[in-house]
Amino acid sequence: MRLRWLSFIIILLPWTTLSAQSLFEEATANKDKEKLYELNGYIRGTLFAGNVPNISETEIKSGYGEASLKLKVRKMNFGDGFAEIRYRTGCEFGESISELDLREAYVNAYIGPFDFRIGHQIVAWGRADGTNPTDNITPKNMIARSPNEDDRRNANFLIRSYFNLHPLRLEAIWVPFFKSSVIPTNLLDFPSDVTFIEMDYPEARLENSAFAVRLNLELPSFDGSLSYFKGYNPFPIIDFSISGENGMNVSPVAYRMQVLGADFSTTAGPLGLRGEIAYRKPYQNDMISDYIPNRELHYVIGLDKAFSMDFNIILQYVGKYVFDYVDLEMPSSPGNWVLYMFDLKNRMVASQQYEISHSLSMRAEWRLFHEALKFEVLGMVNITSEESLLRPKLTYDIADALNFTLGAELYSGPDDTLFGTIDSHLGAVFTELKISF
């Protein structure tokens, strides 16, 4: 057994001793060999304004200044470390804020065909645009207010490893501790006497950790992957408990699931093709709540087209099929109203209000004035639920690394839908001035 390990280490040695850096590596790492670290970051001022819910008046939803410091440390070809710290101060959701956030902090090691990344990090899976059914590792903050879509992602601690055997690439992830997405629980029109309480996280035990594997195939004309996830869904459901005589506590609850996924991207002449599909199977027997989402199949298929004049467009169809779907019926006795209400809210949050739902999405990007001005529009329409999202964004480069952004995030939908519920709370126009260094 020892001999086997010894031969394994010997096989790895030739790679680990390759320390000479080429001109390209020197340039991309750092020209100054004495200086083994780089410090970058940005400073931005951001303002969100929108309607006061249920009143036709305008309010400042968020206004903050934020500074980010990004530190990159390199050790030749062996590995590197990255950390980003953000400090934000201002006002959000009607309250003063002053937050220091370690957005990411991780270390990479490159050992022959193996890559390892350990630390507080963000994982983004899926080759579709915007809607990624296979992306279940990193929690999201659904109420984050930022012109940058990536700011919705919240890092969690995990160990990520790759085995590279080109054109195959096997990725394995272990998430030892659960971290929940932030969902707009308090915006979901619960009765005024409910108390929102903090989520009770699953204990940090091995059986509560999440595992995921993904096998990538990367050919010149085709990229694709198969993936599997098992563990607690970072996107929780909402549960309730009775407290005292008439009181009710509401809190998010995590549930376990398995997800089998696949995705691909390729080109066909002047068109790009991309697709993603995931079969999600929650553990129905855990009995952590009266509501557990049903099994579902979530799929995305899309086309990209690039036109001259620097105009690109991505069109996607997004569908969902909910297995074992049963229509929710109005309760006959008042005693079942609470259960009915929570089923309704949870179906809304889990996007399982219909047995089959159909959505369309479009992302168009137009770069003008020699890329100094970028106009981007993201539009999504759920044909079944009649919800829609429109996110236009205009970014102008005043100078290199100094950008001005103006945009909007507009939700709409019937009152009994998620977008219809959050529209006046989260819908806003925004502006930002940002300088990077």
Partner 1 sequence: MIKVKTLAVVLTGLLAFSALDAQENLSAKQIVERSFKATKLAGSEAISTLTIIDKKGRERVRKIAVVTKLYDNETTEKRLIRFLSPPDVKGTGLLSFDYEKKDDDMWLFMPALRKTRRIISSEKAKNFMGSEFSYADMTPPVLDDFTYEILGEQEVEDTLCWEIELIPVDDDIADENGFSRRIAYIAKKDFVIRKAVYYDLDGELQKELEIKEIKEVDTINHKYRPVHMIMVNKQNGRKSILKVDEIQFSPNVKDEYFTTRYLERY
Q: Is 437 in the site for partner 1 (CB under 8 A)?
A: yes
Task: Candidates 89-97, 249-257, 263-271, 381-389: pick the segment binding partner 1 (CB under 8 A).
Answer: 263-271
- Our CB check for partner 1 shows the closer of 81 and 427 to be 81
CA gap 262, 259 in Å, rounded = 10
Q: Is the peptide bond before 167 cis (omega within 30 degrees of 0)?
A: yes
Site for partner 1 in 22-81 (CB under 8 A): 22-24, 27-28, 40, 42
User: Which of residues 13, 124, 168, 204 is near partner 1 by CB under 8 A?
Assistant: 124
Angstrom CA distances, 270 to 95, 128, 308, 310, 317, stand at: 50, 18, 12, 14, 19
Q: How many Cα neighbours within 13 Å face the side chain of 29?
A: 22
Of the pair 211, 437, the CB lying nearest partner 1 is at 437
Contacts of residue 216, Cβ cutoff 8 Å, sequence gap at least 6: 168, 169, 170, 171, 223, 224, 225
The count of residues interacting with partner 1 (CB under 8 A) is: 52
Is 310 among the residues that bind partner 1 (CB under 8 A)?
A: yes
Residue 281 lies near partner 1 (rule: CB under 8 A): no
Report if residue 249 touches partner 1, rule: CB under 8 A. Answer: no
- Contact status: 213 vs partner 1 (CB under 8 A): no
Which residue, 302 or 427, has its beta carbon nearer to partner 1?
A: 302
Going through 112-167 in order, the beta strands assigned E by DSSP cover: 114-121, 156-165
Identify whether the C-beta of residue 138 lies closer than 8 Å to the C-beta of residue 132: no
Q: Candidates 60-68, 202-210, 304-312, 381-389 — which segment interacts with partner 1 by CB under 8 A?
A: 304-312
Q: Assess contact for 238 and 253: CB atoms under 8 A.
A: yes
Nearer to partner 1, 4 or 166 (CB): 166
| Residue whose CB is less far from partner 1, 185 or 225 | 225
| Binding of residue 305 to partner 1 (CB under 8 A) | yes
Binding to partner 1 (CB under 8 A) within 356-385 occurs at 367, 370-372
Contact between 392 and 367 under an 8 Å Cβ cutoff? The reply is no
Nearer to partner 1 among residue 223 and residue 286 (C-beta): 223
Q: Are the CB atoms for 318 and 361 separated by under 8 Å?
A: yes
Can residue 270 be called a binding residue for partner 1 (CB under 8 A)? yes
Nearer to partner 1, 157 or 325 (CB): 157
Q: Is 429 helix (H, G, I), strand (E, B) or coil?
A: strand
Best CA proximity match to 225, nearest among 151, 160, 93, 135 = 135
Q: Does 21 bind partner 1 (CB under 8 A)?
A: no
The nearer residue to partner 1, 38 or 416, going by C-beta atoms, is 38
Rounded to an integer, what distance in angstroms lies between the CA atom of residue 153 and that of residue 101?
Answer: 13
The residue within the footprint of partner 1, chosen from 213, 306, 339, 356 (CB under 8 A), is 306
For residue 348, give every residue at least 6 positions away whose Cβ sits within 8 Å of its Cβ, in sequence order, or none. Answer: 188, 416, 417, 418, 421
Applying CB under 8 A, which residues contact partner 1?
Answer: 22-24, 27-28, 40, 42, 108, 110, 115, 122-127, 148, 150, 153, 162, 164, 166, 169, 218, 220-221, 223, 265-267, 269-272, 274, 304-308, 310, 367, 370-372, 399-401, 403, 434, 436-437
